[in-house]
Structure 1
Amino acid sequence: MRVASSTLYQQGLASMNNQQGSLLHIQQQLGTGRSILTPSDDPVGATRALGVTQAQAVNGQYATSRKQANIALGAEENALQSVITVTQNVQTQLVQSGNGTMSDSDRASLATSLEGLYNQLLGLANSDDGNGQYLFGGTRSGNAPFTQSTGAGNYIGDTGQQLLQVDVARQMPAGNNGREVFMSVTGAAGYVVKGNSANTGSASFGTVSTTDPSNALYGHSLQVTFQANGAGQMEYSITDLSAPAPAPVVAGPLAYSSPAHIEVAGVSFNVSGEPKNGDTLTMQPASEAGTDMFANLQTVIDTLRQPNLTKSDQANLNNVLATASRQFSNSLDNVLTVSSSVGSRMQELDALDDVGSNRDLTYSQTLSGIQDLDYAKAITEYYQRQTALQGAQQSFMQIQGMNLFKYL
């Protein structure tokens, strides 16, 4: 068979090009440290590596979300600690306001002091994260959630929660809305007793205690009404306001003498003083008895600024202060509960960070096993390809000399 010189040249050139291409590929692998440079190197391995890389990127996004959640929860925790301090200061002032030796001017000074605490509380309720996003606005975090109108704090945020995807199957609230913090009580808050500002007698109530939460009437709103009988003796009756048609819960009016111990619906408290005909006291579950910290504090401020001229005025002041003390005790418990929830979420984020770090390490190890280069094998192949290229070059030089032209 006759082989043309052009064929020898073409085959020699193709052989050298192939060897150079193989050598270049090995050089690129050694330079990058990866065995898979293109999908054609290992289609199955390349597909697996792509899936692991995407999973690792998603895991990195979870880590970013956890960092954002930690920052937001940290800012909320700092604000809540300040709210706790202000609430405790309010409670101290309420105790001081109950001092019977204080004059009208003294109470007015305390009202001014409480007004300062009111403004502090309002400022904390409108705290932001430093980037213009309000902590307690719910999903409406772009605007201040509380406004002051006619002396009471009005909540204009919403009850939504900003959820962050902090792990594969975990969405976490990055904060609490203002209604949860400043306008709520815990389920164990019990009852709040209130006096009627229209009362003309001097009856005042004491500490409210829960004696039997299993009572059938527990959780109902009740009203104690005082009235004089035909002989002029004071009596009282108790009505269930939660019933479709409010009805008495005790048989007939009961005789009243100061101090009187009232126990009904699993709740007990004492009443002292001299009520007048038609005076009332209301017993309500804490969740229905006014949970707005701003409105409750404003009621105290307004009452302290009123002159205390009669026994009726003093009884009204005592009742307002007793109600406010219970309300702010309930509010403090609620804020402490929210603060505990924030701390639990931050602790969970730390645990999820550990899990995420371990997962990221696993992904990196898996990627390494799929696409990292075996340097010993690659170097050996490099020298083999280099030797093959040199052999192809030398053989081509020898074939190049096999022609008759050199004999002319």
Structure 2
Amino acid sequence: MRVASSTLYQQGLASMNMQQSSLLHIQQQLGTGRKVLNPSDDPVAATRALTTSQASAVNGQYATSRKQANIALGMGENTLSTVTTVTQNIQTLLVQAGDGTLSDVDRASLATALQGQYDQLLGLANADDGNGQYLFGGTMSGSPPFVQGGGGVQYVGNTEQQQFQVDVARQMPAGSNGRAVFQSVQGSAGYVLKGSGNTNTGTANTGNATYGQVSTTDPTNPLYGTALTLSFDDSSGTMQYTIKDASGTAVGGTPLNYSEPAQIAVAGITFTVKGTPQSGDTISMQPASQAGTDMFANLKSVIDALSKPTPAAADSANLSNTIATGIRQFSNSLDNVLTVRASVGSRMQELDALDTIGTNRDLSYSATLSSVQDLDYAAAITEYYQRQTALQGAQQSFMQIQGMNLFKYL
């Protein structure tokens, strides 16, 4: 068969181009360190590499969110730590205020000290992150969540919480709203006693009866958790007391004679009443969630009571009861703040665990990408020399073949 000289040239050129292309490809692999340079090299490997890279990028976003959430939680925890200290200081001052030997001047000094704690507590409630974002405003973090007005402090934030997507199926609240911190108590807080106003005139109790701290003895009692009122009456010629629920129905049977100290046991709670009450005086027994949960209002009530002189025994008794109520309320508030702090701490601990999982996931993604993309340098260098030798052989073969023509013998 006759082979044209042009065919020999074309075949020789094609062979050299093919070997040159193969050599260039392996050079690019060695230069980049990757064995898959184009999807056409290995479509399956290229798809796996793309999927793994995208998953790794998303995992990186989760890590960034966790970092931001950790910063926000850390700021909240630092503030709550100071809130805890202030609340404990308030409790200490309230115990001091309960000393019956204090003069009106001493109590006024304590009222001033408590006012300082009040102002500090309000400042902490309106703390921000340094960038104008308030920590306890919920999702309304652009303005102070607590404002003075209406005779007290009002919460103008909301109860929502900013959420961070910290993992595939985990959204984490990165803060605590102010109502949950400063205006709430835990469900297990029990009862709070209050010396109520006279049911007929609306004035304060006129007797000098005082109550001690209430204790929970039987939370399984059917009446436990019900708001009750203890009322004194001497219309029978003997001072008696009756306990009624919110509807006015007596829950303790017939009126009982009062003699101090009276040990009151009802609805699974107990407390002691001392002193001499007057007819119409009342003591309310309310679950903590119904007895005033606002730290600012509770503290303001005590400050106002301490600022007033106590010329009569009834005034001293009402002050003593107000302080006893305040001590109980701030004990509940401290428990609530500590519970919120525990929640913050558990979330920070969870973030640490998720960081560990995320780091391990990154290592897994890196290993997968390495197995799919990374070049085996020993095999690549060997192939490089093979391609180089093949190219040289193609070039030398072409030089010999192109010399095989009749023009050489003319």
Report the TM range for the smaller structure's normalisation: over 0.9
**Superimposed CA distance per residue, residues 292-338 of structure 1 (whole angstroms, 9 cap, x where no aligned partner):** 11110111111111121111111110011000000000000111111
Aligned to 1:146: 146
**When the two structures are superposed, what TM-score results if normalisation uses the length of structure 1?**
0.95
Which of 229, 235, 238 lines up with 2:235 in the alignment? 229
**Superimposed CA distance per residue, residues 191-236 of structure 1 (whole angstroms, 9 cap, x where no aligned partner):** 00001252111111111111111111000000011111232x2111
After superposition, the Cα gap between the structure-2 partners of 1:86 and 1:151, relative to the gap in structure 1 and judged at 3 Å, is: farther
Matched, 1:58 2:63: no
Which of 240, 263, 278 lines up with 2:245 in the alignment? 240
Q: Which amino acid aligns with 2:239?
A: M
Aligned to 1:303: 305
Matched, 1:264 2:266: yes
Distance 1:271 1:66 in 2: 54
Which of 203, 210, 213 lines up with 1:207 in the alignment? 213
- What secondary structure is seen at the aligned counterpart in 1 of 2:40? helix
Q: Which amino acid aligns with 2:213?
A: T
Aligned to 2:319: 317
Deviation at 1:110, TM superposition (A): 1.2
Which of 243, 249, 252 lines up with 1:250 in the alignment? 252
**Superimposed CA distance per residue, residues 250-271 of structure 1 (whole angstroms, 9 cap, x where no aligned partner):** 2221111222111110111111
Aligned to 1:19: 19
**Superimposed CA distance per residue, residues 260-288 of structure 1 (whole angstroms, 9 cap, x where no aligned partner):** 11111011111111111111110000011
Q: Which moved more, 1:158-167 or 1:276-285?
A: 158-167
Distance 1:152 1:93 in 2: 21
**When the two structures are superposed, what TM-score results if normalisation uses the length of structure 2?**
0.95
Deviation at 1:170, TM superposition (A): 2.0
CA contact (8 A) 1:260 1:270 kept: yes
- What secondary structure is seen at the aligned counterpart in 2 of 1:294? helix
What is the RMSD computed on CA atoms of the aligned residues? 1.5
Paired residues for 1:4-403 under 5 Å: 4-150=4-150, 152-197=152-197, 198-231=204-237, 233-241=238-246, 245-403=247-405
CA contact (8 A) 1:151 1:298 kept: no
Q: Which amino acid aligns with 1:316?
A: N
Deviation at 1:151, TM superposition (A): 5.1
Q: Which amino acid aligns with 1:369?
A: S
- What secondary structure is seen at the aligned counterpart in 2 of 1:236? strand
**Superimposed CA distance per residue, residues 324-363 of structure 1 (whole angstroms, 9 cap, x where no aligned partner):** 0000000001111111111111112111111111111111
Distance 2:270 2:227 in 1: 14
Distance 2:344 2:282 in 1: 41
CA contact (8 A) 1:137 1:178 kept: yes
CA contact (8 A) 1:220 1:284 kept: yes
Deviation at 1:67, TM superposition (A): 1.1
- What secondary structure is seen at the aligned counterpart in 2 of 1:247? coil
Q: Unaligned stretches of 5+ in structure 2?
A: 198-203
Deviation at 1:104, TM superposition (A): 1.9
Deviation at 1:405, TM superposition (A): 4.7
Aligned residues: 404
Kindly, what percent of the aligned residue pairs are identical? 71
CA contact (8 A) 1:84 1:336 kept: yes
Q: Which amino acid aligns with 1:395?
A: S
Distance 1:127 1:404 in 2: 99
- What secondary structure is seen at the aligned counterpart in 2 of 1:147? strand
Q: Unaligned stretches of 5+ in structure 1?
A: none
